[in-house]
A and B are shown apart, each in its own frame.
Chain A
Amino acid sequence: MIEFIVISFIKIAAVIGVMLTIVAYTVMLERWVCAWMQDRIGPNRVGPFGFLQPLADGVKLILKEDVLPHHVHKVLYTIGPTLVLMPALINIGVIPWGSNLPVFGRYIKGVIADLDIGILFIFAFAALSVYGIVLAGWASNSKYPFLGGIRSSAQMISYEVCLGLSVVPVFMQVGALNLSKVVEYQAAHSWLVLCQPVSFFIFLVSAFAETNRTPFDLPEAEQELVGGYNTEYSSMKFGMFFMGEYAAMFVMSALMVTLFFGGWSLPFAPFNAPATSLPVGLAHIGIFLAKVVALLFFYVWVRWTIPRFRYDQLMALGWKVFIPLTIVNIVFVGAVLALVVK
């Protein structure tokens, strides 16, 4: 019991530490890639090649004055930013980031909580993240944040449905909701992105909408809503919205890697089976992180390539295209599994 608690605490500290470091450097990556695509130099002042820029940004956000406007609902205005960041930090707990680590004769599983309801847990807490944005928009008690909050609640509810329905075929094929089992299935057979391309495409697009990223960043559309739901925020409260967005991106990328790109596995030995030695175990973690960073790069790449959708286009895409398509996909995969495989 004590051993379990100690190991879990170490895992939580390590995972949150690595996650927040990657989140900080994703902001950096965004600025570098943006500069590169627009033929600029980008941030290069702080440290070698501007490598310490995230640190400087953090210090700047913490030291700024924390303005509390007099017209806001104080309690809800304050808990808004925490509610945006929290679900991402909770959800990383059920995503398997490695097979296992053989240390001192015992096998340490590469996931904080190996839940049998894995994916449902993730959707449950991801569904709560909408409250942060909606409450921030409402509690700010001014026009632009309110419009951002309203847009966000409609958008996130719509795309949650797409997100949930799009992964159903994956679990029909694997036969378990446990994310570790999904990865083990892919290690033994093939990556699910090859078997379920329609699922993957819809999940990918819905993930952009769910994390409020361009081309679906309508809740914070700068040109029309100033900053959307975060207009009235300053200092670290704004910083937490910022971190929340990138942490949600990290979790979504990690989830996509787990569901479609084989998690910690590569399709050849010794990386296609759970590790039996420490170097392979560590290599699995490295493989997982490399895949996540590649998807984060994809997020950034899309942001600086595709312009923002109109709001009615966004809603029509979700309800009239993706939801019928996911249902057809579920029926199709079900028929194939029933007729061909069995």
Chain B
Amino acid sequence: MSSYDILFWFFSLAMLLSGVLVIASRNPVTSAICLVALFVFMAGLFVLLEAFFLAAIQILVYAGAVMVLFLFVIMLLDLKASQRRRFGWLAAVGGLVVAGALVWELGIILQTPVTVAVSGQTEVGGGLEAVVKPLFANYMLPFQVTALLLLVAMIGVVLLSKKDLQ
């Protein structure tokens, strides 16, 4: 077992454990923290794949920004209500069906032979250029349209949260 394998199993098992804790914990704040831990371990897996840029962005955006805002909102909610919530059989069955479908789908994909396009040279810079160059050269227009879409969403939120539009 190489050090790579040990790290892979460590990050994977830690990820699964935190994933289980996210849904098993009754306290929403604990759930949120477990989700942050999951993102960090996932970044560890990206590092093992030498996608350093993706790993940094994973922590920076999801763990560092999105989840802080989630936590901010959760902390302002009434936690007693969600802790009293009962175990719902319908929800559990629905969740199992969705999870089963996902595993089934994964199985089909894994059985299909995949041809990987191997480029001649190895990537330098932890995938930074591999991600950024196409984004700003080939896909400039879709990138800008996405940005515009986010702006529209933001304006929508501001508009909806205003009580009176005058």
Which A residues fall within an 8 A CB radius of B?
73, 75-76, 115-117, 120-121, 123-125, 127-128, 130-131, 134-135, 138, 146, 149-150, 153-154, 156-157, 160, 177
State in angstroms the CA–CA spacing of A156 and B65 once bound together: 10
Contact, CB under 8 Å: A124 / B75: no
Contact, CB under 8 Å: B52 / A115: yes
In this assembly, does B48 line the interface, its C-beta being within 8 Å of a C-beta of chain A?
A: no
Interface of B (DSSP majority class): helix
State in angstroms the CA–CA spacing of A68 and B50 once bound together: 42
Contact, CB under 8 Å: A124 / B33: no
Contact, CB under 8 Å: B125 / A153: no
Contact, CB under 8 Å: B68 / A177: no
Q: A131 to chain B: which residues have CB within 8 Å?
A: 33, 36, 68, 71
Q: A134 to chain B: which residues have CB within 8 Å?
A: 68, 71-72, 75
Contact, CB under 8 Å: A76 / B65: no
Given A76-B33, A134-B71, A160-B65; A125-B59 close (CB under 8 Å) = yes
In this assembly, does B30 line the interface, its C-beta being within 8 Å of a C-beta of chain A?
A: yes
Contact, CB under 8 Å: A127 / B59: yes
Contact of B53 among A120, A157, A160 (CB under 8 A): A120
Given A115-B52, A116-B126, A130-B68; A149-B63 close (CB under 8 Å) = no
Given A117-B126, A128-B63, A177-B128; A157-B33 close (CB under 8 Å) = no
State in angstroms the CA–CA spacing of A181 and B83 once bound together: 51
In this assembly, does B42 line the interface, its C-beta being within 8 Å of a C-beta of chain A?
A: no
Contact, CB under 8 Å: B72 / A135: no
Q: 1/0 contact trace for B54-66 toward A, CB 8 Å?
A: 0011011001110
State in angstroms the CA–CA spacing of A83 and B72 once bound together: 17
Chain B proximity of A167: nearest CB distance (Å): 13
State in angstroms the CA–CA spacing of A124 and B29 once bound together: 21
Closest residue to B125 on the A side, CB-wise?
Answer: A116
**Can you pick out 23 interface pairs between chain A and chain B where the beta carbons lie within 8 Å of each other?**
A116-B126, A117-B56, A120-B56, A120-B57, A123-B56, A124-B57, A124-B64, A127-B59, A127-B64, A127-B65, A127-B68, A128-B36, A128-B40, A130-B68, A135-B29, A138-B29, A150-B72, A150-B75, A150-B76, A153-B68, A153-B71, A157-B65, A157-B68
State in angstroms the CA–CA spacing of A128 and B59 once bound together: 8
In this assembly, does B69 line the interface, its C-beta being within 8 Å of a C-beta of chain A?
A: yes
Contact, CB under 8 Å: B29 / A76: yes
